[in-house]
Structure 1
Amino acid sequence: MKLLFLSDLHDDFWVDADRDLFEGIEDQIGGLDHLLIAGDLTNKPKVRWKYAFERLSKLLPLERVSVFPGNHDFYDFCLDGEDRLEQIASAFGVGYVQKKQLVFGSTRVLCATLWTDFELGAGRTINESHASARMNDFRHIRVASKGYRKLRPSDLVLAHRNQLDWLSGALAEDFDGQTFVATHHAPHPSALDSQHDNIAAAYASDLSELILKHRPERWFFGHCHGGKNSSVGDTQLINVSLGYPDEIADPAARIRDLIFEI
């Protein structure tokens, strides 16, 4: 089976730049058994997700596509609005796989956004203050259940804990085959490069203990456009970010590299 793991499509940015992400590889995309979008499909999802799905539908049947959100998929929207995101995806036949498992033969893929715990480096208190001043997330995302107030780092820590609890439980379940994990945020600081130094805690958590305990074969992550592949124990950490149009000259070549055969 051929699976494409792809994060950080930012489809709306590519449309605005009048560039086709998949130009020259349409046949390869059409031949995929599955495409998993690991977050950051678009900003403003209530308006733009449907246009992204319409474009994807011209390349492959949408029942072969699954998605879970990244931070940008909540921009001009609310953190606690995932029911609406699932409705939009389901209306197009796209699987919504937040805290869900996909199974392809003898391979399972455990999927979650997995926001960070803000514990890297200087520690949570300093990191939360720094991130709230630096990151656009805290200007463009709201929390509907709290009177549509602006997002706070503490909201993301709670979301991280919830998703990490699910993931820990899923990894502990017996499975006769290989286990992959797919998250939007990175599971280890080794995935980051120097551009993330000042705000590393907004991009990754240190999940070494979890990884070494359960030893999934591969952990796919995004969010870190300039991030790198690494490993923790026997687990390969694989960056599947695409990025913005001004960051990548040949998106087709990058996408080819992210097609995996199992």
Structure 2
Amino acid sequence: MAMKIQIASDLHHEMSQHCHELACPLPLAPGADALVLAGDIHEGTNAIDIYSDYPVPVVYVHGNHEPLNNRYPALISDLEDRAVGTAVRFLQNDQFTFGEIRFLGACMWTDYLQFPLHFNDSLEIARHGMIEHKLVRRSGDGRMFQPEDARMHQRETLLWLREQLDVPFLGKTIVVTHHIPSPRSIPHAHQQHALAPAYASNLELLVERADLWIHGHAHWSCDYRIGKCRVICNPRGRPGRNRKYPELPYENAEFQPALTVDV
């Protein structure tokens, strides 16, 4: 029997202090059996607090904003501990089986290889242009979290994810990541942007092995297929950042608060 999965990302509750509606948990969509939150939901562990009593399971991966002003990867243990006994199923290189659906989840980070001939430039541009490399410190030595650290964490995730996808599963497999698994999720006008490698990696050979891949990090919507796999991003984006529609309280005009898919 098909399940109805609600999808959202980049809700940025931490930036919504001046809008009560945006600061509150996302309302459950009619008939939804589970909610997937694909990162950048709230700072630190606060997302778990506001979704702890949600009426259905909440499958949650962290984004690049949760670790801001925190130590990483120590924050992962904090998130795991805070989620115990709540409706939230926090996943970082971990899985959650719900009925006939297997969720495989991780932040995933990125490899900065979208422009292979300019790899070193991509690292340096991200080092100075991405907020996580300015406001996140490494757990071990307290130094700033660097693009090289992100690449290391992505490698760990990809090795784990490949192993999990090799394990036979009779139901459907949904992969949830914050970072983007294919440049196809980036609008054509932005695919040559200098920071594009900080957002997307080309993981299409992995993507096509899943049934559904949900991601965040982009602040624009997308819905397409790679082989049999459907790729979806439904981000709300930051409050007050819509320049085209300033009356809209959040960044992405295409955001659907009650978006669901049948799996």
Alignment TM-score > 0.5, same fold: yes
Paired residues for 1:175-190 under 5 Å: 175-190=169-184
Report deviation, 1:175.
Answer: 0.7
Report deviation, 1:221.
Answer: 0.6
Which residue of structure 1 lines up, in the alignment, with residue 102 of structure 2?
108
Query: Contact 1:192–1:227 (CA<8 Å) still a contact in 2?
Result: no
Percent of paired sites with the same residue = 28
Q: TM-score when scaled to structure 1? A: 0.84
Paired residues for 1:149-168 under 5 Å: 149-168=143-162
1:208 aligns with 2:210: no
Query: Contact 1:117–1:124 (CA<8 Å) still a contact in 2?
Result: no
Q: Decide which structure has greater helix share.
A: 1
Matched position secondary structure for 1:28: coil
Query: Contact 2:36–2:60 (CA<8 Å) still a contact in 1?
Result: yes
Q: TM-score when scaled to structure 2? A: 0.84
Matched position secondary structure for 2:95: strand
Which residue of structure 1 lines up, in the alignment, with residue 142 of structure 2?
148
Q: Which amino acid aligns with 2:68?
A: Y
Alpha-carbon distance between aligned partners in 2 of 1:27 and 1:239, rounded to the nearest angstrom: 18
Which residue of structure 2 lines up, in the alignment, with residue 84 of structure 1?
78
1:136 aligns with 2:138: no
Query: Contact 1:127–1:201 (CA<8 Å) still a contact in 2?
Result: yes
Change (3 A) 1:203 1:143: same
**C-alpha offsets along residues 70-115 of structure 1, whole Å, 9 cap, x if unaligned?**
1101000022111112122226452221112222322222111111
Which residue of structure 1 lines up, in the alignment, with residue 111 of structure 2?
117
Change (3 A) 1:72 1:209: same
Report deviation, 1:136.
Answer: 1.0
Q: Which runs of 5+ in 2 are unaligned?
A: 243-247
Which residue of structure 2 lines up, in the alignment, with residue 3 of structure 1?
5
Which residue of structure 2 lines up, in the alignment, with residue 35 of structure 1?
35
Name the Cα RMSD after superposition. Answer: 2.5
1:243 to 222, 237, 245: 237
Change (3 A) 1:123 1:108: farther
Q: Which runs of 5+ in 1 are unaligned?
A: none
* Number of residue pairs matched by the alignment: 248
Report deviation, 1:195.
Answer: 4.1
Query: Contact 1:17–1:245 (CA<8 Å) still a contact in 2?
Result: no
Change (3 A) 1:190 1:26: closer
Which residue of structure 2 lines up, in the alignment, with residue 98 of structure 1?
92
Alpha-carbon distance between aligned partners in 2 of 1:170 and 1:11, rounded to the nearest angstrom: 32
Q: Which amino acid aligns with 2:5?
A: L
Q: Which amino acid aligns with 2:137?
A: R
Matched position secondary structure for 2:22: coil
Change (3 A) 1:247 1:237: farther
Change (3 A) 1:78 1:95: same
Alpha-carbon distance between aligned partners in 2 of 1:224 and 1:64, rounded to the nearest angstrom: 24
Report deviation, 1:8.
Answer: 1.0
Which residue of structure 2 lines up, in the alignment, with residue 171 of structure 1?
165
Query: Contact 2:52–2:83 (CA<8 Å) still a contact in 1?
Result: no
Alpha-carbon distance between aligned partners in 2 of 1:72 and 1:172, rounded to the nearest angstrom: 31
